[in-house]
Structure 1
Amino acid sequence: MEGLPGVLANSVGGNCGSLGNLASGLLRRDNMFSGKKVIVLGGAKSGISAAQVLVKLGAEVTLTDIIPLHKMPEPDRSALQQMNIRLVTGSHPVTLLKDADLIVKNPGISPEIDFLQSAKEFGVPWISELELAWLVTSAEVVAITGTNGKTTTTALTGEILACASRPVAVGGNIGIPLTGISFGKGPEWLLVVETSSFQLQDCYQLHPRVAIFTNLTPDHLNRHKSMENYLAAKMRLIQNQDSEDYAVINLDDPILARQSFGRGQRIGFSLQPGEADCYTEDGWFCWRGARVAPTSDLALPGEHNLQNALAAIAAAMVLKLQPEEISRGLRGFAGVEHRLEFAGD
């Protein structure tokens, strides 16, 4: 997208500068959190997982949640207290910011709340749990975003990639917290991740090897205020890609089809041949003129699921999977029960 860097900078406001000042010291993979004072803003599964991982990395962690302590589930409370994680509940006191180094924010919390506005004044930057998950892993990342189809595409991509020789872990913006599956995984792993605009809005160093865009239509505009801001949040997925990375995009989507995608290699998919790298033709999923697998291998009905499959196949092809592995993954995929992600290894 023309002018993308400026749009991205505007979308994050003052937090961008604060994080930039911190990047040279805190956000490195070598002992990046050891001795740092980190606030986890928001509990639930993702916050608890983030707090536990941060403690394992040597951080001094405070978890703050708006709900009262007595309403926090006992198992969660006990798990946090056993790891010496400080709990502050019922409110988010501004006093927590006085000596904080970083905030890890639940994606459901608006950046407009008073606590985060005060964080800007104190010079304390914040990131999302998705960014933390990236910082604590060495796995190669395949990340999926879009307005619709993310969950199915994420699960199907994981199913297909698991048919090759590399270990695969799969997660999303609901269900199993990403930090729980990413932490400690080495470069031999593939991490397949569903990402939302709320998560991406607070990412700065996330660098997926493969970024998949399923489609884009106006959504969450009550949070993002405009379609431009929503698009800018989504485009954070590719802001750190380089010429060795891939942006897999749906050419049947009019918004995506007219965007540019940074420095990564653009890989298009479509229900029709034409300019697409990956497409359907005469009952086959095809890749650059070659048949990969019959569309009958996919049990899920509907053109939207054909598009989801094309996105997953395109990712598999750039990651050097063989057609027989892709076919096996398609045949083994039965859909996503209740739209929840899974984790595998």
Structure 2
Amino acid sequence: MEISGKKVVVIGFGKSGQAATKLLLKKGAKVLVSETNPREKFDPSLISKFETQGVEFKFGGHEIEDFLKSDLVVVSPGVPREVYQECLKKDIPVLGELELAWQFLRNKEQVIAITGTNGKTTTTAMVSDLLKLSGYKVFTGGNYGIPLSELVYRETEVDKIVLEVSSFQLETVETFKPKVGILLNITPDHLERYESEKEYAYYKYRLFENQTSQDYSILPLNEPWFSHFQDLVKGKICFFSEKEEKTAQAYLKDENQFVLRIGDKEEVYSFKGFKLLGLHNKLNYIVASLGARLMGASPSSVERLITEFKGFPHRIEYVTSLGGVIFINDSKATNVDATLQALKGLEGRFILIMGGRHKGASYSPLITYIKEKVKALVLMGEARYVIAEELGQVVETYLVENLAQAVAIALKLAEPGDCVLLSPACSSFDQFKNYEERGEVFRDLVFKYAPLFLKDHEINEVYH
């Protein structure tokens, strides 16, 4: 790809936009950054540094005329498609930061990429750790962590590249082709952006469309959208399953063991010492192990990481146990399926805190597990009334405005043997800047108020 001297507009100046701008400058492009946020939101020294290198900035909104005068538009993940739709109509190339980096990446044959509605970050970290334990120098990034453009810009020599990839990034790929592609799952999400679940699934399957028979495509056995998009899957198909199946290359033998089929050999591993909670995390591990083994990881690394991997905060994270009540922070559950997996994979009697900003999906898939495992629902934030309409008749339900009130209600209801589970099934953007802040606030509230057990807290709003 030749961009020296070309006029390039970068839309969005977050992590991805900054990394793309650095790479574009290095390759000789003339860069204009278009950003909706005001200039004051950014570090002045950062902006000044780029301006001294010739970058032009326009803050506070986008001007379509700038896009239409450019030779190339580079878009950050999540930028609404309407912003650059006119460029596509005028045949002005539009690439995402991931595709831009891919165009200049040297060791393309060493890339493993992971996508899916839930579990991407955890599985990406598992794959990365397995390869590191096998002696490789590994770059880990993409949608989570460091943008790929940063690696290409720095020209750092690595053996393997492990990327988390989102549907937003896959919207704008053209030639991106991982040696191993992993699709973990597809459940309704981002329906505020996509016209249908099918469109969302289509972008997930684009992970595989540029692969060849020399590459590997890992996906769930009986994945519901496979029949619709099978033609996009160009690599050697490797299925995984939560139970033993003849057609699966990786599966759970039982709750304590799993099997990988590598070539003609079967490898059996024990989950003894595995620290992560939930069945879905065991599935994440077997998929990570299969992907890493296909990329050259050793069997001994798979055995070793089982006991060493500790997981991430805010993902079914054990917080504490006080007065016989367990507290679990699953703030990363920003969609319905993530909450479903938490309820499915955990044992106990739950006071479930849900709510935040509604993302368009139905909450009805939760009904079976709520009936079976949930003692009470505490609903908060913008989505509380929407959720209550679907779930309020299933179990005792309380409506509150914010997380502090939700924790207080949960403490009033909690008895020894209960588990207070924050698993919102919604985004955090009604009251928090991200799911991490929501999870940290939950932790702080638990440690501040749980020892006091606010039995006298007034319950203001009960849903009937």
Q: Is the 8 A contact 2:72 2:92 kept in 1?
A: yes
Relative to 1, partners in 2 of residues 1:271 and 1:42: Cα closer, same or farther, differing over 3 Å? same
Equivalents in 2 of 1:182, 1:331: separation in Å? Answer: 33
Q: What does residue 93 of structure 2 align with? A: 125
Relative to 1, partners in 2 of residues 1:184 and 1:136: Cα closer, same or farther, differing over 3 Å? farther
Equivalents in 2 of 1:335, 1:79: separation in Å? Answer: 37
Equivalents in 2 of 1:174, 1:324: separation in Å? Answer: 27
Superposition map of 1:278-297 within 5 A:
278-282=250-254, 283-288=256-261, 290-297=266-273
- Choose 295-304 or 50-59, whichever is displaced more: 295-304
Q: What does residue 12 of structure 1 align with? A: none
CA drift of 1:297 comes to 4.7
Q: Name the count of aligned residue pairs.
A: 308
* Structure with bigger gyration radius: 2
Q: Give the AA of the match of 2:195.
A: K
Equivalents in 1 of 2:187, 2:69: separation in Å? Answer: 41
Asked whether 1:328 is paired with 2:304, we answer: yes
Equivalents in 1 of 2:251, 2:155: separation in Å? Answer: 33
Equivalents in 2 of 1:185, 1:168: separation in Å? Answer: 13
From 205, 208, 223, give the equivalent of 1:235: 205
Q: What does residue 210 of structure 1 align with? A: 180
- Superposed CA deviations along residues 13-34 of structure 1, whole A, max 9, x for unmatched, are xxxxxxxxxxxxxxx3xxx222
CA drift of 1:265 comes to 0.3
CA drift of 1:183 comes to 3.7
- Superposed CA deviations along residues 79-99 of structure 1, whole A, max 9, x for unmatched, are 322322111212222332344
Q: Give the AA of the match of 1:287.
A: L
Relative to 1, partners in 2 of residues 1:83 and 1:331: Cα closer, same or farther, differing over 3 Å? farther
Q: What does residue 96 of structure 1 align with? A: 66
Equivalents in 2 of 1:330, 1:183: separation in Å? Answer: 34
- Choose 147-156 or 157-166, whichever is displaced more: 157-166
Unmatched runs of 5 consecutive residues or more in structure 2: 316-331, 333-464
Q: Give the AA of the match of 1:216.
A: I
Superposition map of 1:1-345 within 5 A:
28=1, 32-113=2-83, 116-139=84-107, 140-183=110-153, 185=155, 189-251=159-221, 253-256=223-226, 260=230, 262-274=233-245, 275-282=247-254, 283-288=256-261, 290-338=266-314
Equivalents in 1 of 2:80, 2:27: separation in Å? Answer: 27
- Superposed CA deviations along residues 28-55 of structure 1, whole A, max 9, x for unmatched, are 3xxx222221110111121111101110
RMSD: 2.2
Relative to 1, partners in 2 of residues 1:219 and 1:136: Cα closer, same or farther, differing over 3 Å? same
CA drift of 1:128 comes to 0.9
Equivalents in 2 of 1:121, 1:168: separation in Å? Answer: 39
Q: Is the 8 A contact 2:205 2:233 kept in 1?
A: no
Q: Give the AA of the match of 2:124.
A: T
Q: Is the 8 A contact 1:39 1:61 kept in 2?
A: yes
State the TM-score, normalizing by the size of structure 1: 0.82
CA drift of 1:218 comes to 1.4
Equivalents in 2 of 1:168, 1:205: separation in Å? Answer: 22
Q: Is the 8 A contact 1:34 1:59 kept in 2?
A: yes
Unmatched runs of 5 consecutive residues or more in structure 1: 1-27, 341-345
Instruction: Give the secondary structure class of the aligned counterpart of 1:299.
Output: coil
Instruction: Give the secondary structure class of the aligned counterpart of 1:328.
Output: helix
Q: Is the 8 A contact 1:284 1:291 kept in 2?
A: no
Q: Is the 8 A contact 1:284 1:295 kept in 2?
A: yes
Equivalents in 2 of 1:143, 1:196: separation in Å? Answer: 10
- Superposed CA deviations along residues 184-233 of structure 1, whole A, max 9, x for unmatched, are 55785311111111111111111011110111111112211012211111
CA drift of 1:59 comes to 1.1
Relative to 1, partners in 2 of residues 1:323 and 1:107: Cα closer, same or farther, differing over 3 Å? same
CA drift of 1:170 comes to 0.7
Relative to 1, partners in 2 of residues 1:229 and 1:250: Cα closer, same or farther, differing over 3 Å? same
Relative to 1, partners in 2 of residues 1:178 and 1:297: Cα closer, same or farther, differing over 3 Å? farther
Relative to 1, partners in 2 of residues 1:284 and 1:168: Cα closer, same or farther, differing over 3 Å? same
Relative to 1, partners in 2 of residues 1:68 and 1:321: Cα closer, same or farther, differing over 3 Å? closer
Give the percent of matched residue pairs that are identical in Structure 1 and Structure 2: 35
Instruction: Give the secondary structure class of the aligned counterpart of 2:248.
Output: coil
Q: What does residue 387 of structure 2 align with? A: none
CA drift of 1:273 comes to 1.6
CA drift of 1:262 comes to 2.3
CA drift of 1:237 comes to 0.7
Equivalents in 2 of 1:38, 1:249: separation in Å? Answer: 36
Q: Is the 8 A contact 1:142 1:193 kept in 2?
A: yes
Relative to 1, partners in 2 of residues 1:254 and 1:236: Cα closer, same or farther, differing over 3 Å? closer
- Higher normalized contact order (CA 8 Å, seq sep 6+, divided by chain length): 1
Q: Give the AA of the match of 1:278.
A: A
Q: Give the AA of the match of 2:122.
A: T
Equivalents in 1 of 2:93, 2:181: separation in Å? Answer: 25
Q: Give the AA of the match of 1:189.
A: D
CA drift of 1:78 comes to 2.4
Equivalents in 1 of 2:303, 2:273: separation in Å? Answer: 7
